[in-house]
Every structure is written in C-alpha cells, then in structure tokens.
Structure 1
C-alpha cells in the first residue's frame, strides 16, 4: 500500500473507531477519567546526539496536537536508587481529559506522521497508559 493511501486508511479507520465510542457508547467511564500516556524510547544508537535531537524534534511537533492537556519530555534523572530504571533514552508523557481524547490523538495526522517519520530512530518503545479520577486528594 503506498504511503499516501496507507495514511488515509489509518486516518479513516481512526475516525471510524472514534465514531463508535462517541455519544451514548462513550459512557461515563470513558469521559470522566484522566488518561496518562507515558512512552519510553530506546534509540538504536543511544549515544548518537543527532538521532536524539531528531526524536526531540518529532516529539515537539507531536506536542502540538490540541487534545493533549500537558506534555513532559524527559531523560533519565541523575538519581541513584536500586529500584530506578534508567536504560531508556527519552521519555514522553502526556495527559488527556479522558480516553476518548487519547484515541483522537492516536489517529491524529501529526501522530501518524510522527510514527512514519521517526520510528526508524528507536529499537523499541515501551508504553504505559493509566487512567484515574481527575481529582485526587
């Protein structure tokens, strides 16, 4: 499938799945819980400053997706505890009002472009998604 038609297919598929969760099908649990999407990127060449800069460039583009409420881009902190995992290169954490907003993000053209244009840089990525009440404490 050529890139343009594949992209159009992914966008249409995303909009179709989004349509299936809107309105009554969305349910209160899909609209009221804060959604956090946290991704850890492991670059193929972790010491390659140019590749890291390219990934950061892509993440800053990704941060422009309007459904994102808050973004944090980070690197492993210089703290030393035996329980810390510090083997990743860059982390990406973003907050959404709810899972529906995150599903819109997943099929947004900027996200589709990000995956196409920057995936060659990492050997793996680990994703943690979590939900919870908007107000705790």
Structure 2
C-alpha cells in the first residue's frame, strides 16, 4: 500500500523542527556555496564538537576557554585543530558577506561561528 500525498507531506513537522533548532546548525549545507570556498558546515561541526558540554554563554577570554576545554576534555582542541589544518579554506578567510546567513533556514549566526573557529583552531595556545 503506497502512502498518500497527505501522508508524504512533512511540512508541519519540518516547520516544528525548524523552530526548535533555531540558531543551531544541523550541517544541512544550505549555506553553501560560500563565495570564498569555506566549508561552513564542516567548520561549524568542528566548533560544535570542541564546545560540546561547554557552556555556550562562556564569558571568559578564548585562552581561558581553550584551557577549560583542554582541562575537562584533553585532546579535544588538538584533534579538531589537526582536522582544521586539513581544510583548503580556513575560517579566517571569511569576508563576513552574510550570504550564508541569508540562506540558512535555522538562522545560525555563521559569522560568529567562523570567528570562534579562528580563536579555537587558528590562534596559538
């Protein structure tokens, strides 16, 4: 028995998830292509992985943040940093054009995520 058109319509579910996920990247890559070639979804995934279980409202400087992550989760920054080095285009090459943010269905602040990636993965300890 085939599903009807009504049964295949997931619009209401998608809309509900979209509201629940507002501001959070789901790595869907709707933000691409980036005019300068940044793999936005991949970089945000690295940032999210590094920041997992670390308060997103952290108010300290980034050196302190790196130390906190390294203390509680040894090797997390080092692993992400080595993966980051393999990317063709780094977050620091972001020109803040905002095209990615216009495309994002979840209103992710991509520019802030790129700045955080620079501080976590491109600045020395």
TM-score normalized by structure 1? Answer: 0.30
Greater fraction strand: 1
- The structure carrying a bigger helix percent of its residues is 2
Structure with bigger RCO (C-alpha 8 Å, 6+ apart): 1
